[in-house]
Structure 1
Amino acid sequence: MTIETTKWDASEFLDSEEAILAYIEAAFEDGDPALITHALGNVARARGMTSIAKDAGVTREALYKALSDKGDPKLSTLLGVMKALGLRLTAEPVPTDNHAEARLAS
């Protein structure tokens, strides 16, 4: 028996600001650059790649390339996309596991 599947597209479900923010936060929490790039691409497609590209100051084609699975966007592109999405990239301390530090010290 063959099971039929359809391709799942996250951009179809990013239909509210809350969903978009939770999705982006989860990607950044994971910390994998490829996952972050993929998530930003999904959000950009959900919002409209052309308008996001324009607001980010890049061409639509350049944005598709930067946010593709093989893309590695420059920091300026990443910041432009975040701003176009109404988000900003911030820095905060990484929580530490005091028990792990104690084990390493001994």
Structure 2
Amino acid sequence: MKKFDDLPEFDPADYLNDDATIVAYLIETAKEHDPRAMQKAIGVVARTKIGMTALARSIGAGRESLYKALSENGNAEFATIMKVLDALGIDMEFKMRESHEPEHA
């Protein structure tokens, strides 16, 4: 019987086979409202779509610094996130939540 510790680590990149799946993955991650989870998800997509070396060249950043910034423990600047998304051909879209009630000052 296999022990839990013997199981391979789950890597979402193994399942991001097309653009629709990538978009769904990013949308679901964004619903968590966790910036670190989101930057990690963007890093996973980057590895899957073009690879970190090509991404680093594309945006003029160091590969190692990108790995660090786009990890769960990273602290990527918003400008970096925007450059990465642009290089990946991904647009962000915003909408108001249906349950959102604006605060009045």
What interval of TM-score do these two structures reach, taking the shorter chain for normalisation? Answer: 0.7 to 0.9
Which residue number corresponds to residue 48 of structure 2?
46
Of residues 85-94 and 19-28 in structure 1, the stretch that sits farther from structure 2 once superposed is 85-94
1:16-95 mapped onto 2 (5 Å cutoff): 16-47=18-49, 48-95=51-98
Of residues 70-79 and 7-16 in structure 1, the stretch that sits farther from structure 2 once superposed is 7-16
TM-score (norm 1): 0.80
Query: Over residues 2-33 of structure 1, what are the superposed CA-to-partner deviations in whole Å (9 max), with x where a residue is unaligned?
Result: 52311111112211111111111111122111
Contact 1:79 1:89 in 2 (8 A): no
Aligned-pair RMSD on alpha carbons?
2.0
Query: Over residues 29-88 of structure 1, what are the superposed CA-to-partner deviations in whole Å (9 max), with x where a residue is unaligned?
Result: 221111101101111111211112222332211111101221011011000111111112
Of residues 84-93 and 58-67 in structure 1, the stretch that sits farther from structure 2 once superposed is 84-93
User: Which structure is larger by alpha-carbon Rg, 1 or 2?
Assistant: 1
Q: Which runs of 5+ in 1 are unaligned?
A: 102-106
